[in-house]
A and B are shown apart, each in its own frame.
Chain A
Amino acid sequence: MLALMAPSVVFVCLVFVLPIALFLFRAVDNSDVPRALPKLALVIGTWNDGELPPEPVYRALVADLTVLRGSPELAILARRLNYALPGFRGTLTRTGRMLPASDVPSAKDALIAVDAKWADPEIWAVLRQQSGPVTDFFLLTALDRKRDVAGDIVPVAGDQAIFIDLYGRTLWVSLGVTLFCVILGFPIAAAMARATPATANWMLLGVLVPFWTSLLVRTTAWVILLQNEGLVNRALIWLGVLDTPLQLVFNRTGVYIAMVHVLLPYMILPLYSVMKGIQQSHLRAASSLGASPLRVFFTIYLPLSMPGVVAGATLVFVSAVGFYVTPALVGGPRDQMIGYFISYFTNSAVNWGLASALGAFLLLLVAITYLILGKLVGFDRLKVR
Chain B
Amino acid sequence: MQPHPLVRFSKVDKSYDGVSCVVKSLDLDIARGEFLTLLGPSGSGKTTTLMMLAGFEVPTAGAILLDGRDITHLPPHKRGIGVVFQNYALFPHMSVAENVAYPLTVRGVDKAEAKRRVDAALDMVKLGGFGGRRPAQLSGGQQQRVALARALVFEPDLVLLDEPLGALDKQLRERMQYELKQLHERLGKTMVYVTHDQSEALTMSDRIAVFDDGKIQQLAPPTELYEKPSSLFVAEFVGENNRLEGTLLGMDAGIARVKLDDGVELRGMPAGNIAAGVKIVASVRPERLALGGEGHANRLSLTVERVVFHGDALRLVLRRKGGGEVMVKLPNAAKATPPERGSTLEIGFDLADCRIFEAA
Give A residues with C-beta under 8 Å from B.
279, 281-282, 284-293, 295-296, 299-300, 303-304, 381, 384-385
Contacts and interface: CB of A to CB of B under 8 A. Distances in A.
Given A281-B85, A281-B87, 4 more contacts: A285-B85, A288-B55, A292-B77, A304-B93
Main secondary structure of the interface of A (DSSP, over half): helix
B132 to A, nearest CB: 15
B76 to A, nearest CB: 5
Given A286-B102, A384-B92, A385-B92, A291 B87 contact: no
B93 A303 contact: yes
A211 B62 CA distance: 50
A287 B77 contact: yes
19 contacts: A281-B86, A281-B87, A284-B54, A284-B56, A284-B83, A285-B91, A286-B102, A287-B76, A287-B77, A288-B79, A288-B151, A289-B77, A289-B102, A289-B154, A290-B106, A290-B107, A291-B102, A293-B75, A303-B93
A297 B170 CA distance: 37
Main secondary structure of the interface of B (DSSP, over half): loop
B92 A289 contact: no
Interface in B106-142: 106-107, 136
A303 B103 CA distance: 17
B83 A288 contact: yes
Nearest to B85: A281
Nearest to A304: B93
Interface residues of B, number: 27
B161 to A, nearest CB: 12
B81 interface: yes
Contacts of A284: 54, 56, 76, 83, 85, 89
Nearest to B100: A289
Contacts, number: 70
B293 interface: no
Contacts of B85: 281, 284-285
A304 B77 CA distance: 20
B83 A285 contact: yes
A289 B106 CA distance: 8
B65 to A, nearest CB: 18
A85 B129 CA distance: 72
Interface string B69-81: 0000001110111
Contacts of B92: 282, 304, 384-385
A295 B154 CA distance: 17
B170 to A, nearest CB: 24
Contacts of B54: 284, 288
A287 B81 contact: no
Interface in B34-62: 54-56
Nearest to A307: B93
A112 to B, nearest CB: 75
B207 to A, nearest CB: 23
Contacts of A289: 77, 82, 102-103, 106, 150-151, 154
A32 to B, nearest CB: 56
A281 B106 contact: no
A279 B92 CA distance: 11
